Chains A and B, each alone.
Chain A
Amino acid sequence: GQQLNQSPQSMFIQEGEDVSMNCTSSSIFNTWLWYKQDPGEGPVLLIALYKAGELTSNGRLTAQFGITRKDSFLNISASIPSDVGIYFCAGPNYGGSQGNLIFGKGTKLSVKP
């Protein structure tokens, strides 16, 4: 079945640093979604990508839909403390028909001590 491999699993950030994370799949995706989740809350949609090669920004966040359609990247520029949280990539599970998203395991962003 489809699986999403997200890396890194965790990272520590210092305010002002740029952050990069990515998501890869063994199969093709037609949509890539990036979410952020704070503790005890539901995931919040950050960026949606619908076309191979697409590069989309949302403030300091930029995400790209890989040309091979098997990967996607999320970059955060000039990180701030409120960027801390868990970031998930997700894509539709077409093998299971509509309404079913597959999620990566998440990248946990923490502040450097």
Chain B
Amino acid sequence: KAGVTQTPRYLIKTRGQQVTLSCSPISGHRSVSWYQQTPGQGLQFLFEYFSETQRNKGNFPGRFSGRQFSNSRSEMNVSTLELGDSALYLCASSPATSAGTDTQYFGPGTRLTVL
């Protein structure tokens, strides 16, 4: 079974621009979560989608948004980029079944650099 894939792997943007990151979950997984990882803050939860609906959101500004498509693929968007948005953005998928609901499998991440 193929793992979680994320595109692109690397991205360089300038302040004020916007960016869209893509995630394809493991086949059959219906839940997709997004995390931001920085050296200072560690791994922080952004949001989670299940059946095209955002079920949960972390403590990030409204510039961070996402969506999920009917095939469970997900995208996240960051508008009006700031220098502090430079980070590794990780997507994780979960089967979201009664057993192992909370077990998440991560993709390789997208390294975003904001100049």
Which of these, B96, B105, B111, contacts A45 with CB under 8 Å?
B105
Among A11-19, A63-71, A74-82, A90-98, which stretch is in contact with chain B? A90-98
Q: List 12 A-B contacts (CB under 8 A).
A: A33-B102, A42-B6, A43-B106, A50-B99, A98-B31, A98-B50, A98-B56, A99-B33, A100-B58, A101-B43, A102-B45, A103-B43
Given A33-B104, A43-B90, are A98 and B109 also a contact pair (CB < 8 Å)? no
Q: Are B103 and A33 in contact (CB under 8 A)?
A: yes
Given A31-B102, A103-B42, are A42 and B109 also a contact pair (CB < 8 Å)? yes
A11-46 residues with Cβ-Cβ distance < 8 A to B are 30-31, 33, 35, 40-45
CB neighbours of A35 from chain B (8 A): 106
We find that the number of chain B residues with CB closer than 8 angstroms to chain A is 32
Q: Are A40 and B111 in contact (CB under 8 A)?
A: yes
Q: What CA separation (Å) do A98 and B103 show in the bound complex?
A: 11
Q: Are B45 and A100 in contact (CB under 8 A)?
A: yes
Q: Are B94 and A99 in contact (CB under 8 A)?
A: yes
Task: Name the distance in Å between A84's Cβ and chain B's nearest Cβ.
Answer: 18
Total cross-chain contacts (CB, 8 A): 79
We find that the number of chain A residues with CB closer than 8 angstroms to chain B is 27
Binding site for B on A (CB under 8 A): 30-31, 33, 35, 40-45, 48, 50, 88, 90-93, 96-103, 105-106
Q: Are B104 and A101 in contact (CB under 8 A)?
A: yes
Q: Are B108 and A31 in contact (CB under 8 A)?
A: no
Which of these, A44, A91, A99, A102, contacts B106 with CB under 8 Å?
A44
B101 within 8 A of A: yes
Task: Name the distance in Å between B113's Cβ and chain A's nearest Cβ.
Answer: 13
Q: Are B31 and A99 in contact (CB under 8 A)?
A: yes
Q: What CA separation (Å) do A92 and B102 show in the bound complex?
A: 6
Q: Are A100 and B106 in contact (CB under 8 A)?
A: no
Which residue of the partner chain B has the closest CB to A43? B106
Q: What CA separation (Å) do A48 and B95 show in the bound complex?
A: 14
Q: What CA separation (Å) do A25 and B4 show in the bound complex?
A: 29
Q: Are A106 and B48 in contact (CB under 8 A)?
A: no
B107 within 8 A of A: yes
